[in-house]
Structure 1
């Protein structure tokens, strides 16, 4: 098999987006629909997250204690490698950047249901 090549007009990349890139390497741009849960897991590398649009509830285990924080657009999150955590997209969803240390690819390990350190939060009904 051979690669296929097509010519297309490249879209403009906003300066604000290129500023999120690491010195070398890549980042992931994530789009979560409202109520999307990334259940309890941890990463092999430090990671930074930046909420670009919407919001997310970040939850984590801190030495056996459950912690959580609502993170609206504009929130920069630094997660040390090995932090057992998860997230829940807000009622309008969440678009965010995930940047592993040095732009490398982190290994993600999801915990089996019986290994969750705390119950997983669920989406709250919005007030009508």
Structure 2
């Protein structure tokens, strides 16, 4: 991750292209890709822990519909001492995101003095 927290996926994509052009079997390319993404997630979480003393990671969003990424990231994060939260009752994709946005909006709305009924 860069200083701003963004992740440069360029090196991973270049490795996938190299592997494909070299004729590596799809299973090998896939395994390397999933391991690289898992390592990027772990690295980003470690940086957040150092910078902000964060110890909980929420794995959500469409990318974590990929079972291999979800399992790999959760296992590596937990092994590194993070508490990992994941969707259980709502979808991991945009449906869960929309619900989360509604909850945040409701909370903000409830705390706006002009909107309260008391």
Q: TM-score, normalised by structure 1?
A: 0.27
The structure carrying a bigger helix percent of its residues is 2
Please say which structure displays the higher CA radius of gyration. Answer: 2
Q: Which has the higher contact order (CA 8 A, sep 6+)?
A: 1
The structure carrying a bigger strand percent of its residues is 1
